[in-house]
């Protein structure tokens, strides 16, 4: 006679539900307020060798990305039935709004205006105006852009050696890691529901957003493009691997 309780625990569907429940619990416990969640008593002291324009542009891009992701999450919420996944989207939208406010507050503290790279807003609008299947937007937001946000935050943490920025980075990256985990969880089940044509269209649309963001950040600067071209290509290759692991594309087409 089989142990039915053990069998039930081992069912893939139950495992997925347990993961979703754990993510919701973590998201709920991980909520924090801009005013009290950051130790604003820490004196901001970005290194003198970084120009105001560099910091304003880097954090301006992060801020704009957070705002666009929040808007895209809210769009998904409007089109989704009430479910546990919708609860996670609600928490994420709140996270992204909070992150944008934190970056803006930091820039105010150091007396630097946010500089949104030319064309960056238009590039991120491709998320808000997403025409593909809703699950494709989940791939774009959670699998690709959130993981890139984590990478950029890690890189900036090494460049902007400021104790207040490190405090902000510590809180924000905890949220972003949870968002990536959410995308990977949903992506595993979503990719099987898409037709081959929808999968190809989704990858093409994600690459369009990627290219538009890189172009906006480089801002037609040939010297800067040469500096970031190799890095961008390597990062996209890693994203292709992630999308292949989630079944969105065949590894041989990467």
Q: pLDDT tens-digit profile of 191-243?
A: 888 888 888 888 888 888 888 888 777 766 666 667 677 878 888 888 888 88
Q: Are 61 and 120 in contact (CB under 8 A)?
A: yes
Q: Is the pLDDT at 166 greater than 80, yes or no?
A: yes
pLDDT value of position 13: 64
Give whole-number Cα distances, 179 to 69, 120, 169, in Å: 11, 22, 15
pLDDT value of position 142: 73
pLDDT value of position 219: 67
Q: Is the pLDDT at 43 greater than 50, yes or no?
A: yes
Which class for 8: exposed (0-12), middle (13-18), buried (19 or more C-beta within 10 A)? exposed
What digits encode the pLDDT tens for the residues 110-124? 999 998 877 777 877
Place of tokens 């890691």: 177
Q: What gap in Å lies between CA 229 and CA 200, rounded to an integer?
A: 24
Q: What gap in Å lies between CA 143 and CA 154, rounded to an integer?
A: 17
Q: Where are the alpha helices (DSSP H) in 79-145?
A: 84-109, 120-128, 134-138
Res. 254 pLDDT band, cuts 50 70 90: very low
H-run or E-run covering 33 = none
Task: Please choose, from the candidates 185, 149, 236, 225, the residue with its C-alpha nearest in 3D space to the C-alpha of residue 23.
Answer: 185
What digits encode the pLDDT tens for the residues 87-98? 999 999 999 999
Map out the domains of the chain as residue ranges.
45-253
pTM: 0.82
Q: Is the pLDDT at 85 greater than 90, yes or no?
A: no
Place of tokens 């619990």: 25
Q: Is the pLDDT at 250 greater than 80, yes or no?
A: no
pLDDT, average across residues 4-23 = 69
What is the sign of the dihedral through the CA atoms of 61, 56, 106 and 154? positive
Q: Which CATH architecture has domain 45-253?
A: Orthogonal Bundle (1.10)
The overall average pLDDT reported for the chain is 83
């Amino acid at each position: 006679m089989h142990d039915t309780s053990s069998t039930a625990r081992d069912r893939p569907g139950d495992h997925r539900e347990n993961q979703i429940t754990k993510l919701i619990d973590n998201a709920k416990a991980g909520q924090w307020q801009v005013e009290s969640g950051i130790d604003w008593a820490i004196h901001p002291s970005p290194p003198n060798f970084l120009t105001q324009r560099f910091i304003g542009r880097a954090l301006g891009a992060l801020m704009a990305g957070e705002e666009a992701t929040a808007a895209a999450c809210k769009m998904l919420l409007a089109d989704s039935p009430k479910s546990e996944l919708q609860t996670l989207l609600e928490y994420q939208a709140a996270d992204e709004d909070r992150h944008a406010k934190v970056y803006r507050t930091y820039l105010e503290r150091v007396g630097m205006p946010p500089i949104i790279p030319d064309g960056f807003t238009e590039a991120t609008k491709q998320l808000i105006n997403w025409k593909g299947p809703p699950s494709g937007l989940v791939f774009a937001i959670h699998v690709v852009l959130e993981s890139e946000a984590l990478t950029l935050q890690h890189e900036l943490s090494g460049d902007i050696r400021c104790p207040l920025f490190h405090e902000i980075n510590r809180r924000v990256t905890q949220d972003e890691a949870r968002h990536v985990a959410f995308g990977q969880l949903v992506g595993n089940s979503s990719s099987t529901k898409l037709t081959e044509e929808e999968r190809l269209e989704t990858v093409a649309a994600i690459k369009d957003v990627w290219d538009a963001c890189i172009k906006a950040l480089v801002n037609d600067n040939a010297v800067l493009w040469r500096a970031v071209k190799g890095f961008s290509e390597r990062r996209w290759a890693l994203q292709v691997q992630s999308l292949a692991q989630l079944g969105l594309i065949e590894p041989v087409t990467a």
